[in-house]
Copies of this chain bind each other. A is one copy, B any other.
Amino acid sequence: MRKLLIALVVLAAPVAAEDKPVPSPIEIVAAAPKGDWVAIAPTDLLVMDLAPDSKGKPRRVVIQLMPAPFSQGWIGNIRKLAAARWWDGLSINRVQDNYVVQWGDGEAEDKAKAKPLPERLTRVPETDYVATYGELNIKEVPPETGLYLSPIGGGPARFFASRETVQSDLYAPIAIFHKGWPAALMRDHETRVLKTLIWPVHCYGMIGVGRDMPPDTGSGAELYAVIGHAPRHLDRNIALVGRVIEGIEHLSSLPRGTGALGFYESAEERTAIQSIRLASDLPGDKPLPAYEYLSTESVSFAAYAEARANRRDAFFIRPAGGADICNIPVPVRRVN
């Protein structure tokens, strides 16, 4: 019951404090200074061109790959697969509503028809589903700085010494934005060492590595994008490698498959992949724009996250007082 009462006080506070209109999350992002934005290297962008739609319109999906310490074994494989043009001519084979879109070799189950994988792909152990964050160093930050969040489930607002924004979470002890990515943290219990583990989390638009039952069987050749409510139960059970930063509508609006798990029942239903390339390997006549993400260690991002959790722009009459990490998407923009 104590928890309930504390949460009520937090809930009531923002309403009472509001006398004048405050900027919306979008306005906060629009006002962020140039220095709060981080360029995404073309070597970290994977560009998937699907066959044009029924009206002949091109369908390009742009994916940002994760930085270290996350999932670099699988990402290395993905770079090799793209360099080998392995996905060219393959297809999207599965679209399950409120869950995932999956692509790769539609004939992978049939050894006689399966497309051979490039040589020297790495077999990545399941231990790599999590990374080491380092020593946990939480300090309290006074509310006057504005650099804080007041999530309902999480007690007082806190910042990491690194200025990374943290969030209450229901799937892990704490959620955090780390190097531009939504992630979760916990102490490493098994080793009995005060090491902190960090792993990326399954939000809308995230890209993961399909696998068979043994947890080290995902190579990166079978990829999926989340197109529904965050399936956070998959965290630490399957590898995440990136996120869609443009063109997700070309995946999320595809017809749903009617077979088990949303697989298409016939090859005719599949959408063909023309090519998947790193942006740095695209031919010169098809340039990709430059992209930036809002630094998750910036003051602008902290204000944006706070505003997402406490909507006070004109439409809203009751700010929630909290938000889950997947309801605070990291802003990404085209630069040119």
Residues of A that sit less than 8 Å from B by CB: 1, 3-5, 7-8, 11-12, 54, 95, 97-98, 126, 129, 138, 151-155, 167-174, 186-187, 189, 203-205, 213, 215, 228-233, 235-237, 248-249, 252-256, 308-309, 311, 314-324, 326-327
Question: Which one of B153, B213, B321 contacts A153 once the chains associate, using CB atoms below 8 Å?
Answer: B153
A104 → chain B closest CB, angstroms: 18
- Taking A1-B138, A232-B323, A252-B252 as known contacts, 11 extra A-B pairs with beta carbons closer than 8 A to each other, sorted by chain A number, are A3-B155, A4-B173, A95-B253, A152-B170, A154-B170, A172-B320, A203-B229, A204-B229, A228-B228, A233-B311, A237-B311
> How far, in angstroms, from A318 to B13 measured CA to CA in the complex?
38
Most buried by B among A11, A203, A213: A11
Residues of chain B contacted by A186 (CB below 8 angstroms): 4, 7-8, 11
Residue pair A173, B8 in contact (C-beta under 8 Å): yes
Most buried by B among A215, A249, A311, A321: A249
A15 → chain B closest CB, angstroms: 10
Residue pair A153, B126 in contact (C-beta under 8 Å): no
**Which chain B residue shows the least CB distance to A321?**
B171
Residue pair A187, B252 in contact (C-beta under 8 Å): no
Residue pair A229, B170 in contact (C-beta under 8 Å): no
Residues of chain B contacted by A129 (CB below 8 angstroms): 318
Residues of chain B contacted by A171 (CB below 8 angstroms): 152, 320-324
> How far, in angstroms, from A267 to B140 measured CA to CA in the complex?
54
Residues of chain B contacted by A126 (CB below 8 angstroms): 317
